[in-house]
Structure 1
Amino acid sequence: MTLFDLALKNIRRNMKSYGLYIGSTIFSIIIYFTFAMLKHSDDISGLAETSKQMQAVMSASAFVLMIFVAIFILYSNSFFMKKRKKEVALYSLLGVRKRSIGFLLFFENIVIGLIALVIGVGLGFLLSQALLALLLKLMGLSLSVGFAFSMQAVIETVVVFFLIFLVTSLLGYRVIYKFKLIDLFHAEKKGEVQPKARILSALNGVLALAGAYWLALQDLMTSSAWRIFGLAMPLIIIGFTILGSYLLFNSVLVYVLNLLKKSKNWAWKGLNLMTSSQLLYRIRGNAKTLTIIATLSATTITAGGAIFGTYYNTEKNVEQFTPFSFMWEGEEQDIDSGIVEDAVSFEAKDITIEGEVYDQSYYVIDEETFMKLTEALGWDVENVDLAKDEVIMADPFYDERLEEKAATVEVGNDVKAVDQFFEQPLFNIQTLPGITLVMDDASFQELDGGEGTYQAVQTADYKDHLELSKELEAKTEHFSSAVQSYQDSIESSGAMLFVGSFLGLVFLVATGSIIFFKMMTEAEEDKGKYTVLYKIGVSKKEMKKTVRYQVGLIFLAPLVLGLMHGAVALMAFSNLLDMNLWEPVIIWMAAYTLIYILYYVVTVRGFNKTITQNAAQEG
Structure 2
Amino acid sequence: MNFRQFAVKNVRGNWHQYRAFFLSSVFSVMIFFIYAAFIFHPDVINGHIQGASGVRMGMLACEYIIMIFSFFFVLYSNSAFLKSRKKEFGLLSLFGMTTRQIYKMVVYENIFISVIAIAVGIGFGALFSKLFFMAMSELLQVGNPISFYLAPKALITTAAGFFLLFQMITLVTLFQIRNSQIIDLIRAAKKPKTPPAFSIWLVLLSVICLGTGYTMAYFTTVRTVLFFVLPVIFLVTLGTYFLFTQCSVAIFHRLQRTLPIYYNRTNLITISQLVFKMKDNARVLFIVAILSAVILSASGTFYVIYQGNKGKMVEAFPHTVAFAEKGANVHRVIDLDKLNGVLQQDGVRIEHEMKLLTVPLSTSTVPSAASATIDDYRNMPLLVSEDAFNREAARYGNLKAVNVERGHAVTVTPNPLNDVKNHMSQGDTFVSRMGDQQIKLLVDEHYEGNLVSSTLNYTGFLVADQAEFEEILRNVPANDTYILYGYELHNWENAGPTVNKIEQLIPKEQQSYFVSRVESYLELKQVSSLTLFIGLFVSFLFFVASGSMIYFRLFTELQEDQALYKSLIRIGVSIKEITRITTLQIGMIFFIPCLVGVVHALFAFRALGNVLSINSMLYGFVVIAIYIMMQGVYFFITRRQYLKHLTRL
Q: With structure 1 as the length reference, what TM-score do the two structures score? A: 0.83
The alpha-carbon deviation at position 392 of structure 1 amounts to 4.6
Counterpart secondary structure, 1:33: helix
Structure 1 distance, partners of 2:64, 2:586, is: 33
Establish whether residue 524 from structure 1 lines up as the match of residue 551 from structure 2: no
Could you say if the C-alpha distance between residues 322 and 42 of structure 1 is closer, same or farther in structure 2, counting changes exceeding 3 Å?
farther
C-alpha distance in 1 between matches for 2:301 and 2:272: 40
Tell me if 1:417 matches 2:477. Answer: no
Q: Does 1:331 align with 2:333?
A: yes
Match of 1:606?
641
Distance 1:287 1:420, change over 3 A: same
Matched, 1:464 2:494: yes
Q: 1:388-427 to 2 correspondence within 5 Å?
A: 392-398=410-416, 406-408=426-428, 417-419=442-444, 421-427=446-452
Q: Which residue of 2 aligns with 1:257?
A: 252
Paired position in structure 2 for 1:357 = none
1:443 & 1:55 partners in 2: Cα distance?
57
Correspondence for 2:522: 487
Partner of 1:322: 317
1:175 aligned partner: 176
Q: Deviations over 1:404-452 (max 9, x none)?
A: 97333767899853355452213323454454556868699999xx999
**C-alpha distance in 2, partners of 1:370/1:42?**
60
Aligned to 1:66, what secondary structure does the other structure show?
helix
Q: 2:353 aligns with which of 342, 350, 373?
A: 342
Letter in 2 for 1:234: V
Change (3 A) 1:415 1:16: same
Unaligned residue ranges in structure 1 (runs of 5+): 355-360
Q: How far apart in 2 are the matches of 1:488 and 1:11? A: 51
Counterpart code for 2:190: K
Structure possessing the higher radius of gyration over alpha carbons: 2
CA distance 1:370–1:22, change in 2 (3 Å): same
What aligned pairs does 1:81-230 form with structure 2 within 5 A after superposition? 81-134=82-135, 144=145, 146-190=147-191, 192-221=193-222, 226=224
Q: Which residue of 1 aligns with 2:308?
A: 313
> How far apart, in 2, do the equivalents of 1:265 and 1:286 lie?
27
Shift of 1:527: 1.0
- The 10-residue stretch of structure 1 (145-154 or 197-206) with the greater mean CA deviation from structure 2: 145-154
Tell me the distance in 1 between the aligned counterparts of 2:215 and 2:432: 46
Give the AA of the match of 2:353.
D
Residue number in structure 2 paired with 1:584? 619
Distance 1:21 1:343, change over 3 A: closer
2:604 to 569, 572, 576: 569
- Once residues 192 and 456 of structure 2 are traced to their aligned partners in structure 1, the CA distance between those partners, rounded to angstroms, is 70
In the alignment, what sits opposite 2:381? Answer: 364
Is the contact made by 2:27 and 2:541 (CA closer than 8 Å) also made in structure 1?
A: no
Distance 1:10 1:382 in 2: 76
Whole-angstrom CA distance in 1 between matches of 2:143 and 2:587: 45
Q: CA deviation at 1:556?
A: 2.8
Q: Is the 8 A contact 1:530 1:543 kept in 2?
A: yes
Shift of 1:239: 1.4
Query: Does the 8 A contact of 1:24 with 1:73 survive in 2?
Result: no
C-alpha separation in 2, matches of 1:411 and 1:41:
64
Matched residues in 2 for 1:247 and 1:473: separation?
61
The correspondence of residues 269-308 of structure 1 with structure 2, limited to 5 A, is 269-308=264-303
- 2:154 alignment partner, SS class: helix
Residue 629 of structure 2 aligns to a residue whose secondary structure is helix
Of stretches 104-113 and 94-103 in structure 1, the one that deviates more from structure 2 is: 94-103
User: 2:26 matched to which residue of 1?
Assistant: 26
* Pairing partner for 2:543 from 508, 517, 520: 508
| CA–CA separation in structure 1 for the residues paired with 2:452 and 2:52 | 25
Give per-residue Cα distances to partners, 1:39-82, cap 9 Å, x unaligned: 55578777974587533433333322222222212121211222
* Secondary structure in 2 matching 1:220: coil
CA 1:236–1:163 in structure 2 vs 1: closer, same or farther (change >3 Å)?
A: farther
CA deviations on 1:294-334 (whole Å, 9 max, x unpaired) are: 11111222222222223223332221111122235652153
Distance 1:49 1:369 in 2: 48
> Which residue is equivalent to 1:358?
none
Deviates more, 1:419-428 or 1:508-517: 419-428
CA RMSD of aligned residues (A): 4.0
Cα distance change on mapping 1:503 and 1:528 into 2, 3 Å: same
Are 1:328 and 1:454, in contact at CA under 8 Å, matched by a contact in 2?
yes
Moved more, 405-414 or 142-151: 405-414
Preserved CA contact (<8 Å) 2:52 2:140: no
Distance in structure 1 (CA, Å) of the matches to 2:515 and 2:38: 32
Name the aligned partner's letter for residue 110 of structure 1.
I
Mapped contact 1:106–1:172 kept (Cα < 8 A): no
| Counterpart-to-counterpart distance in 2, 1:352 and 1:306 | 44
| 2: CA distance, partners of 1:308 / 1:130 | 22
Aligned residue identity for 1:522? E
For the Cα contact (< 8 Å) 2:245–2:279, is it kept in 1? yes
What is the aligned partner in structure 2 of residue 496 from structure 1? 531
Given that 2:390 and 2:402 are in contact with CA atoms closer than 8 Å, whether structure 1 keeps it comes out as no
CA shift at 1:100, angstroms? 3.6
> Any conservation in 2 of the 1:352–1:362 contact (CA below 8 Å)?
no
* Equivalent AA in structure 2 for residue 261 of structure 1: Q
Offset at residue 101 of structure 1 (A): 2.7
Partner of 2:231: 236
Measured against aligned partners, the alpha-carbon deviations of 1:101-147 in whole angstroms (never above 9, x if no partner) come to: 32332232122211110101111222333345456667788864653
Where does residue 371 of structure 2 map in the other structure? none
Are residue 551 (structure 1) and residue 586 (structure 2) matched?
Answer: yes
Asked whether the equivalents of residues 358 and 384 of structure 2 are also in contact (C-alpha less than 8 Å), the reply is: no
Cα offset, 1:243, TM superposition? 1.5
TM-score by length of 2: 0.80
Residues 416 and 335 of structure 1: CA distance in aligned 2, closer, same or farther (over 3 Å): same
Residue correspondence of structure 1 range 44-55 to structure 2 within 5 A: 49-50=50-51, 53-55=54-56
Q: Which amino acid aligns with 1:24?
A: S
Question: What amino acid is aligned across from residue 183 of structure 2 in structure 1?
Answer: I
Please give the alpha-carbon distance, in whole angstroms, between the structure 1 residues aligned to 2:94 and 2:304: 60
Distance 1:248 1:392, change over 3 A: same
User: 8 Å contact 1:294–1:561 — kept in the other structure?
Assistant: yes
Q: Which AA in structure 1 matches 2:524?
A: S
Contact 2:30–2:122 at 8 Å: present in 1 too? yes
Alignment-mate amino acid for residue 408 of structure 1: D
The Cα of 1:567 is off from its aligned counterpart by 0.9
Cα distance change of structure 1 residues 133 and 348 upon mapping to structure 2, 3 Å threshold: farther
Q: Which position in structure 2 is the counterpart of 1:74?
A: 75
AA matched with 1:397: N
Distance 2:98 2:277 in 1: 34
> Paired residue for 2:373?
none
- Please say if 1:429 is aligned against 2:454: yes
Q: What secondary structure sits across from 1:418 in the alignment? A: strand
Report the alpha carbon displacement of residue 511 of structure 1 after superposing the two structures with TM: 2.0
Is the deviation greater in 333-342 or in 433-442? 433-442
Alpha-carbon distance change, 558 to 10 in structure 1, aligned in 2, over 3 angstroms? closer
Q: Percent identity?
A: 27
Deviation of 1:11 after TM superposition, in Å, equals 4.0
